[in-house]
Structure 1
Amino acid sequence: MIVLGCNGFTRVAEFFADNFGAVGRDKHYLMGHDAGAALLIDGELVAAVEEERLNREKKTTDFPIDSVRWCLDHAGLELSDVDLFAFPWRWDTEVVGQVLADISAAPMDPLAQRQLLTGIRQLAAEVVGPEAMLADFAERTGFTPDPSKVVFVPHHFAHAMTGWYLAGMRDSAFLVSDGRAERFSALMGEIRGGRISVFDGSTIGSENSIGILFSAITRFLGFVPNNDEYKVMGLSGYAAPPVPNPFLEDLVELHAGGRYSFRRPLETDNPHGLDPVFEQYFGPFEETLEYQARVAAAAQEMLTVVTNHQLVALEAATDLNHLLFEGGVALNCLNNTPLFEGSRFEDMAVSFGASDTGIVIGAAAHAWANHPDNAGRELTPSYVTPYLGPEYDDAAIEQALRAFGDRVGWTRLGDDEIVDQVSKLLTEKVVIGWFEGRLEHGPRALGHRSILANPKFADIKDVINTRVKHREPFRPFAPLVLEPDAPRVFEMGRKTRSPYMTFVFPVRPEFRDVIPGATHVDGTSRVQTITDAGTPRLAALLRRFTALTDVPCLINTSFNVAGEPIVCTPADALRTFLGTEIDYVVLGNYLVTKAEPAK
């Protein structure tokens, strides 16, 4: 069975700009970001890629025409070969009616209410409804799917199934929390045998979305909502949360069954709606580290309290011992570690596709697992890697190198020579672009499109932030560490691995002076554990580097600059290399340097 997952809309950005003023900083505040495609063949995930990596538009909402084409080309297939088309949204007549009823019942200005009702009807009819989505698909691909082969998966079901599939398809309890889906912002329940059961009493409506609230705070602090929440997470380490915390004292109310609400419900169509409340709590906005950190610390504590409240209710409602946490809120890795450590669950998985980047995988997995052909069958998991996108052979790399003419020099080395030479270069204060194999999926660079550096230099963070990434100086960097070494360097608690940078751990005191460049101001690190099986050459590089330096980690950050997607092609990598102060770049087996300027 061949299943194609597909997320993205040709007109959604235009619609929200025209009807809700969602432009500029607020462009991604609403739905549709992180377009992409994924392909399952007989239950095996063979390809997945985000459209932004191909069209080079960060967090694009556009229909994923390039992603669809690449996934099919990679597998040698045509659209006519696909058995099921899975979309991670279900805006059918029933759902639209429920959304309209929610808006009609909300305490709102009558004029604003009528405008919102009209806008939602138009949105469904013109952009996200089943007929509109199929028309968009046909127009962009030239292929009209048989309606009997099309599955519209509720957005939060797609999130839950992403976690289930990527965690090995074991029966699990789940918490999904994000900005908003069709109607809700959070679901809890169980997945058994690929079938989802929702604990309806714990469902959270979008008007009380902790994800949207956190995004509104992100915007208030001067950042891009639905994109820069990790900046707020990083800022929170520079301050203690205020006592009392106004978010918890004056805004959030906790209720039985894991429910919560806001004393002032969100205007989900207005990202500026709570700005006056934030200024009431913290005073007029100031673009200073002290002010921003104080707000960020309060927001981070609020998020932890609310999600822990949900998790306590989930523990009481299920007898399953494995937890999946998915949705955009699950990318707040500073929150994830205390959630798990304070729970009774034996393990907690947060996938590399926890945000909307992964819902194409979850939609495809849901359509496959719940197809009548699989009824009553035991579904056998296959090994899943995050390295699911395009890769480039020597010929493609050399073609790109020649295209840059005399601006670069390069040497082709053997596998062992690359590892040996790069490990020696990394003993110094250098920054190296590392490009190998298939592109990773999801928002984190996981070692195939990465920037590497030596964390023993305390000021390497400043070098990378200012001279390479062109971003704020307060931003921390993640260390990658061999999985067996991780408990020696970090206080891992009950976790034994963190392969996707989705958990934060304290750095053990004896290593804080060893890896200061990868230790945040609060003494923690967002850790990526690696293995020989998962990333053999990167593991060999780290092992050789450690033998030379006694430093057990390397800094790993995404191979891009602020505002741009992670690089995909060799040409992308070379443009970034030449436009920054990266010292060297490794393209497969090619060690590349910048040519000396002519005298």
Structure 2
Amino acid sequence: MKIIGLHVHAGQSAACLCEKGSIVAGAAEERFNRIKQSRAFPNNSIQFCLKKAGVSTLEELDGIAVSWNPANNMKNINLSGFTQWRRYDPEWLYIVPNNLLNLGLQEGFPGESLKMDIDINLNCPLHFVDHHRSHLGHAIFQSPFEQGAAAIIDEYGEYYSVTLARFLGNKVEIIRQIPYPHSLGIFYAAITEYLGFRPNSDEWKVMGAAAYGEPERFQNKVEKLLLWNESDCEWIIDQRYIEHANMKRAGYLNERLKGFLGIPVRGKDDEIKQVHYDLAAAAQAVFEDRLFRLLNCLYEETGEKNLCVAGGSFMNSLANGKILNRTPFERVFIPYAAADNGGAMGAALWVYHCVFGNRREIIQNPPSPFIGPSWDDDEINRVIKKFKLHYEYCEHPDQSAAEEIATGHLVGWFQGAMEYGERALGARSILADPREASMKEKINSAVKYREAFRPFAPSVLMERVADFFDLPSGASVPYMEQVYPVRLEMQSVIPAVVHADGTGRLQTVSRDMNPLYYDLIKQFEEITGVPVVLNTSFNIQGEPIVCSPEDAIRTFFSCGLDTLIIGRYILRK
């Protein structure tokens, strides 16, 4: 059974292929059209998935799953004003079903997914899956747990901003939900905008800035923006200050918030001052407080030991790394694409397991994120020769890369299938020596051209992680999705990947998931005694992570990288 999953309703549109209950291919459209966070319909991504599936037409698929259900939106809005008549003829495609559904929404529509047949002779129906059920499908059906609790927290779905559930096998029970606009994601995006960054894009910057601030300066005020209702165990956003739900104004903020916080909104090009770091720290503290209150309520309601999470709020790696210490859950699974682009996978998995009723097979090993396009050495060689570039052939790219990194060179690393998601995990990475404290500034000034306060991630051999980081029992970090403290005695050993608060957003690397990258770090350990390399995404500011050999070569010559190791070929400057 082959199902294409689509994320099309927001930034970073994407497609994936689910085959027999496993995600075997996928990519965001931005990687092909080279527009960061592209909202374009994922035509290129779909073509890649069809090729991977070995099919040439949609007729050979068993279904297409979309991670948004417009029929759920229709339950709470008046349709009479804009779906009665068409502006141009193709609009009949949705005007007719819109109005038919509106005649009996509660009785005629169950609310989980909407099936639509495009053609009576086409055995490939469209399934519009509720957005939070798409996230549930991704978090639950890729997890190693037979049963547990699940939390979906983001800005909003069709109507809800939080969905709490429990699951056993294929059966998923919704426990309760928090409606939009009472949203943890909107709260954090509003502070992101206040600090002069781009909401739904630059929240990473707020996380990085928080380490330089003191939360006490603003925490009492910021807490009032997202009130906690103890009796109902939910948060309530104060819409006097955050007006995302007001469609008559752009953005998240209003003039009252400016007066309430007592500092001007920072312009995007303004200097970042201590007051901004303090506001970031307060926002992060309140985010974590509200998140852990909710997760503790979920534990009390379910008694489950295993937790699966997804939604954009779980891209907050600072908070993710504290879940096991701040809640009674014993194990947590955070997928490699917890944000909306992962909804493409979740929609396909939900249709496979919950609509078609296929039995779920539990796999204990973390699913591989390396499901994107790849190029073999012959294809790479043709590209290099097309550009008339001088190159060296290397039999062992892992050893060559380790030697380059150990000498202080900045290395572009392009190997195998591209990662899915927003983090480079050792297939499309820039690698450097973590032992040199100045390496962070070197990369920022020569390659990334980004704010100096943003940290870089350490990739560490899985069996050596406890020697360098303080992790709670049961923690697994294969996707660079959690932040943990660096052991005090190791902070001087790998200073380039230690943030201002003594932490690192680490990635544990196993030979099973990525043997070549594992061997690279192992070789680096043999040379230096340190089983850690600095890893950041292979791109420059404003561009998506590289996808093709052409992307890698262009980016290599557009920045201050010293070496590019692409397949078994080495390019130098």
Give the secondary structure class of the aligned counterpart of 1:370.
helix
Deviation at 1:430, TM superposition (A): 1.6
Which segment drifts farther, 547-556 or 328-337?
Answer: 547-556
Give ranges in structure 2 of 5+ residues lacking alignment. 99-117
Tell me the SS of whatever aligns to 1:467: helix
Q: What number of residue pairs does the alignment pair up? A: 541
Which position in structure 2 is the counterpart of 1:450? 429
Verify: 1:175 aligned to 2:151, yes or no. Answer: yes
Aligned to 2:239: 264
Are residues 231 and 463 of structure 1, via their aligned partners in 2, closer, same or farther at CA, if it must alter by over 3 Å? same
TM-score of the two chains, using structure 1 as the length reference: 0.85
Contact kept? 2:59, 2:123, Cα under 8 Å: no
The residue aligned with 1:556 is 535
State the Cα deviation string for residues 331-372 of structure 1 (Å, max 9, x = none): 101011222212111101111010112111100000000134
Residue identity in the other structure for 1:170: E
Do 1:468 and 1:582's aligned partners in 2 also have CA atoms closer than 8 Å? Answer: yes
| Whole-angstrom CA distance in 2 between matches of 1:122 and 1:300 | 47
Corresponding residue of 2:392: 411
Mapping 1:278-427, distance limit 5 Å: 278-286=258-266, 287=270, 288-374=272-358, 377=359, 379-381=361-363, 384-405=367-388, 408-415=389-396, 418-427=397-406
**Aligned residue in 1 for 2:112:** none
Work out the CA distance in 2 between the residues paired with 1:182 and 1:59: 21
**C-alpha distance after superposition, 1:183-233 (max 9, x if no partner):** 111111112222321122xx2222111101211211221211111101100
* Residue-by-residue CA offset, 1:402-435 (whole Å, 9 max, x unaligned): 2322xx42111112xx222221221122210111
Q: 2:497 aligns with which of 496, 518, 521?
A: 518
Change (3 A) 1:247 1:89: farther
Q: Which residue does the alignment assign to 1:153?
A: 129
SS at match of 2:36: coil
Whole-angstrom CA distance in 2 between matches of 1:470 and 1:230: 15
Task: Write out per-residue CA displacement over residues 83-116 of structure 1, whole angstroms, 9 at most, x where no aligned residue.
Answer: 1110100111x53232559xxxxxxxxxxxxxxx
Counting only pairs closer than 5 Å after superposition, residues 523-562 of structure 1 correspond to structure 2 as 523-562=502-541
Q: For residue 111 of structure 1, what is the aligned residue in structure 2?
A: none
**How big is the shift at 1:149?**
2.1
Distance in 1 (alpha carbons) for counterparts of 2:411 and 2:259? 42
CA distance in structure 1 between the partners assigned to 2:385 and 2:523 by the alignment: 31
CA shift, 1:143, in A, is 8.8
For structure 1, the 5+ residue unaligned runs are 9-30, 102-116, 136-141, 595-599
Pick which of 575-584 and 489-498 moved more: 489-498
Which residue is 2:109 aligned to?
Answer: none
Shift of 1:291: 2.5
The offset of 1:168, in angstroms, is 3.1
Distance 1:257 1:119, change over 3 A: farther
Deviations 1:51-86 (A, max 9, x none): 111111111111111111110111211211111110
Give, in angstroms, the shift of residue 262 of structure 1: 2.1
Preserved contact between residue 369 and residue 379 of structure 1 (Cα < 8 Å): no
Change (3 A) 1:399 1:345: same
Residue 190, structure 1, aligned to residue 173, structure 2: no
Q: Are residues 1:205 and 2:182 paired?
A: no
The counterpart of 1:83, out of the listed 41, 50, 62, is 62
1:164 to 123, 140, 161: 140
Given that 1:567 and 1:573 are in contact with CA atoms closer than 8 Å, whether structure 2 keeps it comes out as yes
Q: 1:272 to 1:372 in 2, by over 3 A?
A: closer
Asked whether the equivalents of residues 487 and 496 of structure 1 are also in contact (C-alpha less than 8 Å), the reply is no
Give the helix-richer structure, 1 or 2: 1
Is the 2:62–2:124 contact (alpha carbons within 8 Å) kept by the matching residues of 1?
Answer: no
1:145: Cα distance to partner? 8.8
* Distance in 1 (alpha carbons) for counterparts of 2:544 and 2:89: 29
Secondary structure class of the residue paired with 2:322: helix
Deviations 1:543-588 (A, max 9, x none): 1111211222100000001111100000000000000000001101
* Residues 499-518 of structure 1: pairs in structure 2 closer than 5 A: 499-518=478-497
Q: Per the alignment, in what secondary structure is the counterpart of residue 391 of structure 2?
A: strand
1:216 aligned residue (190, 193, 202): 190
Change (3 A) 1:533 1:128: farther
Q: How does 1:425-464 map to 2 (within 5 A)?
A: 425-464=404-443
- Report if aligned partners of 2:187, 2:226 keep a CA contact under 8 Å in 1: no
The equivalent of 2:205 in structure 1 is 231
C-alpha distance in 1 between matches for 2:426 and 2:93: 38
- Could you tell me how far apart the structure 1 residues matched to 2:273 and 2:83 are? 39
User: Are 2:61 and 2:123, in contact at CA under 8 Å, matched by a contact in 1?
Assistant: no
Identity of aligned residues (%): 31
1:96 aligns with 2:74: yes
Partner AA of 1:317 in structure 2? E
**What is the CA distance between 1:378 and its match in structure 2?**
5.1
Structure-2 separation of matches of 1:291 and 1:59: 30
Given that residues 304 and 339 in structure 1 are in contact (C-alpha distance below 8 angstroms), is that contact kept between their aligned partners in structure 2? no
- Alignment-mate amino acid for residue 170 of structure 2: G
Counterpart check, 1:58 vs 2:36: yes
Aligned-pair CA distance for 1:279: 5.0
Q: Is the 8 A contact 1:432 1:451 kept in 2?
A: yes
Q: Secondary structure at the match of 1:317?
A: helix
Runs of at least 4 residues off by over 3 Å: 117-123, 125-135, 142-148, 246-249, 377-383
Partners of 2:256 and 2:169 lie apart in 1 by 47
Deviation of 1:160 (Å): 1.3
Question: What is the one-letter code of the residue matched to 1:283?
Answer: I
Amino acid at match of 1:370: C
Residue 247 of structure 1 contacts residue 299 of structure 1 at CA under 8 Å; is this kept in 2?
Answer: no
Check whether the contact 2:218–2:278 (CA below 8 A) recurs between aligned residues. Answer: no
SS in 1 for 2:429: strand
Deviation at 1:398, TM superposition (A): 1.1
Cα deviation 1:504-525 (Å, max 9, x = unaligned) = 1111111111111000011000
How far apart, CA to CA, are the structure 1 residues paired with 2:546 and 2:53?
Answer: 22
Q: CA–CA distance in 2 between the matches of 1:368 and 1:52?
A: 26
2:115 counterpart residue number:
none
Contact 1:476 1:520 in 2 (8 A): yes
What is the rounded CA distance, in whole Å, between the counterparts of 1:445 and 1:169 in structure 2?
Answer: 26
Q: Which residue of 1 aligns with 2:226?
A: 252
Instruction: Pick one of 9, 15, 22 that aligns with 1:44.
Output: 22
- 2:253 is aligned with what amino acid? G
> How many Å separate the matches in 1 of 2:204 and 2:277?
13
